[in-house]
Amino acid sequence: MIMKEYFPREQYLKKVSHFIDKPIIKVIIGQRRVGKSMFLFQLMDYIKQKQKQANIIYINTEEEDFQHITTYKELQKEINSKLKKGKKNYVFIDEIQDIQQFERALRNYQAKQTCDLYCTGSNSKMMAGELATFLSGRYIELQIHPLSFTEFCTFHNLPVTQDALLKYFRFGGMPFLRHLPLDDEPVYEYLRSIYNTILLHDVAARYSVRNLHLLNVLFRFLSDNVGGIFSATSISKHFKKSTLQYPPKSILEYLAYMQNAMIINDVSRYDLPGKRILTSGTKIYYEDIGIRNAVVGGFKPMDIHKILENVVYSHLIRQDYKVYVGQYRQKEIDFIAEKNSKKIYVQVAYKITEQATMDREFGNLLAIKDNFPKMVVSMDDFTGHAHEGIEHVHVFDFLQQTL
């Protein structure tokens, strides 16, 4: 096996390292082309440094050498042929969801504890559903996200500057972009190829989707309306105005398929006074803002507020926060982020140049009478101060913070 060049993703290695050599399956999930395979190579190198005599078994279902592995029995046969007695065996399986009944093989090896298991997948529901059924309590799941802003600068050998921030807004954080010039034409061509692969392979083929036109117009609608509150019914009514007759049920199904492929994220609304998740109306944000930009024809300055909101959301989930859109009576809180006993309230605004904007953004947060941190994130030149205890943070600084 040839080890490949990669940039280390230390944030994820730190999380997984606690479970190495423990009798628990390590499941790495993430959108296609987000860097899961390269992270497996990083893990392999890390293990080899700790265990010089480790026997590394690597299977990538997308490579020609492993095309014969389509069922769990063939997977077991492949692994068994490479296990070595008297050595610590580590098995890495890339894109395991393409193997029928893969969970049976994982359960077999987990029960026997003959090897330390790691696998990746690009379908969150299938991975979680199958593993939860067969391996409840016997696996941990880690999601790999596109590059953070600071990772983006490292990958592209850029100084951490405002100019780099605008490039990040424009192109997003897909790791392979470091092999391309950061220009619109090559970058967006590559990102559109990822979009097409995800929709055709991870959505249409996997779920036997017949209406590709609906799939594409729905994705374009979501791209144009990042951060807007909507429902399947409201989208259906919108399409009807253009003489497109798509029932809410079909729209709901297609939204679920795209979420399973991890190209979009559905964010529920949370009623603060009632302490409950609202069932009507959600927001959609993209896993990678660059793919969103590619779908709408490139970066558009008029969309900066949508891009800014999406990037702030991504920074929160990258730090393992569960994120909701807050509803406090008639006021909307862009993000409520929760992790363990921590909670953060975040408002996002492009520029706060008018008193009415300031009253709205800060006033919505001031209405919440608890002691959890509250902040407004914007692109104003004059930030860094507090207004009645609420921080005003420039997005450039926000994206470099560990919250």
Query: Which residues, other chains included, contact 329 with Cβ-Cβ below 8 Å and sequence gap of 6+?
Result: 273, 367
Residues pairing with 241 in the sheet: none
Query: pTM to 2 decimals?
Result: 0.94
Task: Please choose, from the candidates 377, 382, 310, 387, the residue with its C-alpha nearest in 3D space to the C-alpha of residue 346.
Answer: 377
pLDDT at 3: 56
User: What local confidence, expressed as pLDDT, does residue 210 receive?
Assistant: 87
Which residues in the chain come in under a pLDDT of 50? 2
Q: How far is it, in rounded angstroms, from Cα 151 to Cα 108?
A: 38
Rg of the chain over CA atoms, in angstroms?
22
Q: How far apart are CA 226 and CA 229, in angstroms?
A: 9
Contact 376, 392 (CB under 8 A): yes
Give the residue from 84, 79, 85 showing the smallest Cα distance to 66: 79
Whether the CB-CB separation of 123 and 131 falls below 8 Å is answered with no
- Residue 166 has what pLDDT? 97
Structural domains in the chain, sorted by start: 10-143 (3.40.50.300), 149-398 (no CATH)
Give the separation between CA 106 and CA 403, rounded to whole angstroms. Answer: 35
| Token reading at 230 | 């909507």
Torsion of CA 362, 364, 369, 374, to 10 degrees: -50
